[in-house]
Each structure stands twice: as C-alpha cells, then as structure tokens.
Amino acid sequence: MDIVAATEHDLPAVERLYRDVADEMNGAPHDVWWDFGVHPTHEGLLEAARSGNLFVATAQAPEEQLFGDEPEREAGRPAAGLGCKPSVLGAFVLDARQGADYGLASWLVDAPSGRVAVIHLLAVAPGARGRGVGRALLRAAVREARSRGAWSLRLDVFDNNAPAISAYRRAGFADLGIFDIEVGGGLRHPSHLMELDLRETCEKR
C-alpha cells in the first residue's frame, strides 16, 4: 500500500471513493451526512490536490496484492500520480483550516494557528474496511503534520460515528468533548472535537 499526495489527474478515482463511502453511510447509524457535490465537492478536492493537501492510499492490481503487509509510502513523498489503474483504498485532506466552532474547545496544546494541522474527510473504501487502511492513513497524517511543523493535529467527528471515534481514541487522540458544530449549509450536528499532541507522542512502529 502506498500513501501519496494526489494530483488533479487522480480526482476521478478519489471522487469515486467519496461517492462510494457516502452511499454506504446513507441511512446507516454512522451516517455523517456526506453528499458528493455538497460535501465533499469536486472544487474542494481539486483545490486540496493543487495545494498538496489531498492524500490517498492506493494499491495496484492484482487484487490478491491489494491488502498485503508491505509498509505504506510516507505521505508527501514524490510520486508520479497514482500510476496505472490503482485501487484507491482511502483518502484524507490535511490543512490548517479550523472551523469557527473549534474555538469552543479548551485545546490541550496552546498552539498558534500556524502550528495546527487539521484532518478532514478521512475515509476508507467500504471494501477495504478492517485491513488497517485507516490506521495507515492516520500514521501518514501524523508524519505529514509533523513535517509541516505542527504541534497539534485536530479533527471533528459526528457523535454518532462510533467506529471513527474509537479509531481516533486508539490512535492517541484526546477527546475534548461534544460540541454543536456547524457542518455547512446552515446545518449543525453534535460532534466530538479531538486532538493529538504532536510534541509528545511518538509514532508507533
């Protein structure tokens, strides 16, 4: 499995991933209201790719090799796109954008805005669940955030998304509590605000 910075040429495959994830979650207990074209959008993903902020986990055919044990390539390493007909296993966006409601939390790390990284849109393809893809994506996000000089890695997650909340806690994120978060289009939803202190944590080998 490789985790690489995506290019705009990779967007069709990445958008298929987000459409599949949104369809799988629709009406499920862990539904987080994703609706491709509303959130996420082609324009937002294109901007993230052009800014070097969109990362994807990929595997090459044949299918029996998709979920092997070889280590993932570090996020941010140079890569010539996703190659020939890759299988996109997951994706995330990493930038410094904190929603206005992030100010509601008493963050553990007193970091200036330039020292904060934020994970958005972390998703694993429905067919790749339980294979360690989510853990690999989080490890890559931590490495990339550290490489950018961040002291704190933050995120928000709907309070009904129990699998994601558990995964973030296992990865060492502190749960700052549940807050009423604006999620776009005038909609709000109770969400956990979570943080990983990058100054003290050591990446698990």
Per-residue model confidence as pLDDT tens digits over 87-135: 889 999 999 999 999 999 999 999 999 999 999 999 999 988 888 999 9
| pTM, rounded to two decimals | 0.84
User: From CA 15, how far away is CA 43, in angstroms rounded?
Assistant: 11
User: From CA 10, how far away is CA 18, in angstroms rounded?
Assistant: 13
By the 8 A CB rule, do 114 and 95 touch? no
User: From CA 158, how far away is CA 56, in angstroms rounded?
Assistant: 22
**Domain spans, the chain:** 2-197
Could you read off the pLDDT of 131-184 as tens digits, one per residue?
899 999 999 999 999 999 999 999 999 999 999 999 999 999 999 999 999 877
pLDDT of residue 28: 84
CATH fold of 2-197, please? Aminopeptidase (3.40.630)
User: From CA 28, how far away is CA 118, in angstroms rounded?
Assistant: 26
